[in-house]
Amino acid sequence: MPVYKDADGKKWRAVYRIKLRDGSTKQKSKRGFRTKKEAEAYIAEQQKAMKADLGMTLSTFITEKYMPDKKGVLKERTYLTKEHMIRTHLLEAPIAGMSINAVQPEDIIAWQNEILKQGYSECYNRTLNNQIVGIFNHAERYYGLEKSPCRGIAKIGRSDAEKQMLRYWTHEEFLEFLDSISPEKDAMYHLLFQLQYYCGFRIGETLALTKSDIDFVGKSIFISKTYDRRNKKDIITEPKTKNSIRRVYLPDSLCNELKRYVDGLYEYPEDARIFPVIIRAVETKMHRQMEKAGMTNIIRVHDLRHSAASFYLSQGADMYAIQRLLGHASIEETIRTYSHFSIEQDRQIANIVNRLNQKGGD
């Protein structure tokens, strides 16, 4: 990089370029050096400092560069989810102690193989893979890493695996499960699981509900926030997308049960969660009740949301109604996720005609 003498001929100016976070470069300069040698030494120092950043460990890069950069651009819930995955699956891995510019493709593959040994779902494996790819892409784009070691390496997991293997309960299966929960002795869970099935809420949306979210006159619930627990702290944040903010109307029987439950929460603050449990507790409860009911179709809490879509489609609801119920960002997302449910209903229509023809031939 060049150095120049000021117009008055008394001082020297150092001119150099830095790489910005959008991938472009920017020229910078510093004036006031007494000699040309001092100006050149300053440029060399700046270049060394930029290169030294890439000599830091992957762990240091993540905590001091990558995560602070992401915190300002991601929603709090998204950021916390990313932070949890990286802290759990990357910062504790051997690769985290390596210099970021020393990581080779074989190190990435070794990390992938360790992840595959854990037995996670295909979707979760792909999500974890995306984290390490994103970190090295960030280092390459914004911090001068010559080439990401993730380039050319096959990704693990499948992003569409969960959508291709959606599990759900029919209405009969859900009622069989619900019968295993006492509405008197276990009123909270009896109500909570019905909200999951009939309203299609995300579990975080249900656990964030307060008295002020419920309109018993209008028989509806207003969804405007979501609950999570990170680092042993309860966190309430905005929902996943702007379309997730919605009003969901309740069947009369469910509204009445909700009213009885809320009326039993004596002197309960309006802004307190009416279901004061964590997500893991709900998952554990559901698993125990499935065992108690002798269920053979084992699903997760989140699958109750898929079950809601299947149930209402089977009753004739259209995709736009399902989109509004579930709070999807777009109708395309709804169709992409649940189109096979609709196809099943189309086949049932054909079977109606088949049955009529069979009767006519008898």
Same domain, 115 and 203: no
Could you tell me what percentage of the chain is helix, strand and coil, using 3-state DSSP and rounding each to the nearest 5?
Answer: 55, 10, 35
Residue 356 maps to a domain: no
42-71 in b/e burial notation, b at 16+ Cβ within 10 A? Answer: bbeebeeeeeebbebbbbbbbbebbbeebe
Residue 346 pLDDT? 57
Query: What is the pLDDT, as a whole number, of residue 223?
Result: 96
pTM comes to 0.62
- Predicted confidence at residue 359, as pLDDT, reads 65
Beta-carbon count within 10 A of 154 CB: 7
For the chain, the domain total comes to: 3
If asked whether residues 326 and 294 sit together in one domain, one would say yes
CB-CB contact of 222 with 213 (8 Å): yes
Q: What is the CATH number of the domain that holds 197?
A: 1.10.443.10
User: Has residue 352 been placed in a domain?
Assistant: no
User: What confidence score (pLDDT) does residue 160 get?
Assistant: 64
* Residue ranges for the chain with pLDDT beneath 50: 21, 52
Residue 345's pLDDT is what?
58
In a domain, residue 362? The reply is no
Residue 113 and residue 179 share a domain: no
Distance CA 183, CA 188 (A): 8
Per the structure, the complete domain to which residue 197 belongs is given by 171-346
